[in-house]
Structure 1
Amino acid sequence: MDRKTIVVMEGDQTGQELLEEALRVLDPAVTQLELDFERYDLSLENRKATDNGVVHEAAAAMKEHGFGIKAATVTPEAGSLGSPNAILRKGIDGTVIVRTGRRIPGINPMSGVHAPISVVRMAVDDAYGATEWREGEDLDEVAYRTEKITRGVCRGVSEFAFIQARKMRAKVFGGPKYTVSPVYEGMLKEEMDRAAEKNRDTRYDPQLIDATYALLLGTYGEPLVIPTLNRDGDCLSDMVLQMFGSIAGAESLLISLDEDFVAQTIMSEAPHGTAPALEGKNVANPMAMILAGAALLSFMDDDQASLISRAIYEATFEIILDGVRTADLGGSTGTSEFTDEVIRHVRNKREVWSALA
């Protein structure tokens, strides 16, 4: 494999602790891959000190190298600092966010949920970054919000949904509330229909977003890919991950697409927050961050990186099946001990592969 550079974005509280666990697994001593790590301190303190300059630097580095892994960060409730994720999404021209719920071996999912479910949502626009204001007083006060979506982003979400569905042998399912909002939300539906015409080999079952929520609770184990608006996807993906046992059970991917809808820049992270109550206690689940690292390797267009990616996924699920589980999965294994077991299993796989070569 040609040497690759992964941009590492440090974070806050438990987010930073779990990032370090993921980097232990990605260490070249474990993976035997030629990887370099370029670190940027995105802690709240350093973002304040640099007036978000470090966030812009990290985004530029990701565009240069193509790969990034980010710890969870604190977003202040007030002030001009804003969300680092919003800056990163804009900085790398992010189009889609992909979160995939998977059955965790040994953990009982909700009844009827067995096959993977991917939520492919807009990375920009919609309710996030909308202009908001209020007018009037007392009970006559009115709140307004001006949102926008672009056809280019709608097309990227729709096209990538079919790419993801083909990869998963899944059907494209769900969609926006286009009956109530034919102009705004209807734009995504138009692009979904357009992509379906181009991809007749992939099953397509459009549903309104409210029906999507309801029908998910009665699925029969069929793999699904759900394209969504930004706000809908944010809510839906959290629910989907929890349906499989834990929000810490899967990675979150921010992807920039080229003109052919091929992934150009990938930033991986955990879908959960900084969990300040767990900081320093060695009890948080590192699974999502470890899988975030594995996901990056799968995009490196290299056979050896793909093998190690699969090894990390398999090792993570195997140890859970063997009973190595953190508290959120009903066990008592500590954070570092969980990672130790993943590393041991990855090394075992590499040793066996070399014997079978």
Structure 2
Amino acid sequence: MSDSLTITILEGDETGQELLDQAVRVLDPEVLGLDLTLERYDLSLENRRKTGNEVVHEAARAMRESGLGVKAATVTPEGKDDVGSPNRILREEVDGKVIIRTGRRIPGVTPAAGIHFPISVVRMAVDDAYGAKQWREGGEGGEDEIAYRTEKISRATCRAVAEYAFRTAKSMGARVYGGPKWTVSPVYEGMLKEELDRAAGLNEDVQYQPVLIDALYAGLVSGAADGPLVIPALNRDGDCLSDLVLPLFGSIAGAESTLLAFHEDYSPRVAMAEAPHGTAPALQGKDVANPMAMLLANAAVLHYGAQIHGVAAAEQASRAIYEAVLEGASAGVKTADLGGSAHTSEVCDDVVSRVRTKIDVWSSLGSSR
């Protein structure tokens, strides 16, 4: 088994690309002491249009081969005849089943609703409301006009969400909390509930508290998060939940998002990490956007690199980045959205310096972290 890693770098648009360019500096082999190769693919809107999305398919093939990807935010055009969403193509081609986003307390930032423990949202990556067939019938614009939508989920995706939710909870010492609205939709949403119950029976050492999605939202803002939580969710429920959970800790730009594809035993086969926010065109060229999520995306992909390829040093490098990002915030090196005054490049400079020092010190001590 090789001690080297190849990471597929998926370039994007506007501020998303600027953040990637800054954050990816932490993956310099001289900083991490790792044998890393970065293969770049230009997924900018301009190049997707120029290639008719072929560059997205090329990037997906490369990521299936490397098992690892870091993606910048990209623009999804609204026109139905345009190139559409690159994320959809990437998810389908690598057979991504689960997206995990973890909110964490950021040192020096007061969380909302008294939440201090990590909260991971484990959601479907495909199907549900996204990609559903939609149509309207009746008089256009009149009171008789009716809109329809057909959605689907699969047992396989429900099982992947349930299995990975319980595995994540076990690793975090967390409680699996929440679920869909299975009382109203016992056939459709009840399928996820069935798989959660099944996984709970196989993981009796993990605390399991199923609650309906509306009660979950109420619980998050009224004190239910009195310990680490893992929240399993349908695709759109999870999308909405992530946009609630991450700002509870200070900013949607304060945590990474990771798409996972699995082997048959639900061990990760492909991991693509990214920032969950958009391209922030209003911030482009100003060097003020928060790079934490992109920096943490690099940490996440190294963590999965250790799991997928067995490169132990990648786990140490991952921890160094996670610690450096949070230590920098604790020391006050923060962008304006977190109450600081640092520029994007200054935050990344600080993190790179801290990571370099950690790796050097750990090497001197001969210790593995």
Residue 277 of structure 2 aligns to a residue whose secondary structure is coil
Partner of 1:207 in structure 2?
211
The aligned runs of 1:250-289 (5 Å cut-off) are 250-289=255-294
Q: Match for 2:49: what amino acid?
A: K
The aligned runs of 1:68-147 (5 Å cut-off) are 68-80=69-81, 81-137=83-139, 138-147=142-151
Partner of 2:236 in structure 1?
231
Structure 2 CA distance for aligned equivalents of residues 241 and 64 of structure 1:
31
Residue 333 of structure 2 aligns to a residue whose secondary structure is coil
**Offset, 1:220:** 4.6
The aligned runs of 1:11-22 (5 Å cut-off) are 11-22=12-23
Is the contact made by 1:59 and 1:92 (CA closer than 8 Å) also made in structure 2? yes
Partner of 2:176 in structure 1?
172
Partner of 1:35 in structure 2?
36
Residue 215 of structure 2 aligns to a residue whose secondary structure is helix
Residue 140 of structure 1 aligns to a residue whose secondary structure is coil
Partner of 1:304 in structure 2?
313
Is the contact made by 1:14 and 1:279 (CA closer than 8 Å) also made in structure 2? yes
Q: Match for 2:93: what amino acid?
A: G
Q: Match for 2:299: what amino acid?
A: A
Task: Point out 4+ residue stretches in structure 1 off by more than 4 angstroms.
Answer: none
Partner of 2:224 in structure 1?
219
1:58 matched to 2:59? The reply is yes
Q: Deviations over 1:77-96 (max 9, x none)?
A: 11331111011000100000
Instruction: Give the structure-1-normalised TM-score.
Output: 0.99
Residue 254 of structure 1 aligns to a residue whose secondary structure is strand
1:195 matched to 2:229? The reply is no
Residue 280 of structure 1 aligns to a residue whose secondary structure is coil
Is the contact made by 2:219 and 2:225 (CA closer than 8 Å) also made in structure 1? no
Matching residue within 332, 336, 339 for 2:348? 339
Structure 1 CA distance for aligned equivalents of residues 178 and 75 of structure 2:
32
**Offset, 1:123:** 0.3
Partner of 2:27 in structure 1?
26
Q: Deviations over 1:148-186 (max 9, x none)?
A: 000000000000000100111101110000000000000
1:356 matched to 2:365? The reply is yes
Matching residue within 300, 319, 338 for 2:328? 319
Structure 2 CA distance for aligned equivalents of residues 109 and 156 of structure 1:
30
Structure 2 CA distance for aligned equivalents of residues 220 and 142 of structure 1:
40
Structure 2 CA distance for aligned equivalents of residues 7 and 155 of structure 1:
28
Is the contact made by 1:165 and 1:202 (CA closer than 8 Å) also made in structure 2? yes
Structure 1 CA distance for aligned equivalents of residues 16 and 114 of structure 2:
32
Q: Match for 2:293: what amino acid?
A: A
Q: Deviations over 1:21-71 (max 9, x none)?
A: 121011111111111011110000000011111111111111111000100
Structure 2 CA distance for aligned equivalents of residues 173 and 111 of structure 1:
17
Identity of aligned residues (%): 64
**Offset, 1:225:** 0.4
Partner of 1:2 in structure 2?
3
Is the contact made by 2:104 and 2:116 (CA closer than 8 Å) also made in structure 1? yes
Q: Match for 1:78: what amino acid?
A: G
Q: Go from structure 1 to structure 2 and tell me whether the alpha carbon gap of 1:153 and 1:220 turns closer, same or farther (over 3 Å shift).
A: closer
Structure 1 CA distance for aligned equivalents of residues 90 and 122 of structure 2:
18
Unpaired stretches in structure 1, ≥5 consecutive residues:
none
Structure 1 CA distance for aligned equivalents of residues 122 and 91 of structure 2:
15
**Offset, 1:356:** 1.9
**Offset, 1:112:** 2.3
Give the CA RMSD over aligned residues. Answer: 0.9
Unpaired stretches in structure 2, ≥5 consecutive residues:
none
Equivalenced residue count is 357
Q: Deviations over 1:276-295 (max 9, x none)?
A: 00000000011100000000
Is the contact made by 1:251 and 1:289 (CA closer than 8 Å) also made in structure 2? yes
Is the contact made by 2:334 and 2:342 (CA closer than 8 Å) also made in structure 1? yes
Q: Match for 1:293: what amino acid?
A: N
Is the contact made by 2:174 and 2:230 (CA closer than 8 Å) also made in structure 1? yes
Is the contact made by 2:33 and 2:359 (CA closer than 8 Å) also made in structure 1? no
Is the contact made by 1:112 and 1:219 (CA closer than 8 Å) also made in structure 2? no
Is the contact made by 1:107 and 1:245 (CA closer than 8 Å) also made in structure 2? yes
Q: Match for 1:192: what amino acid?
A: L
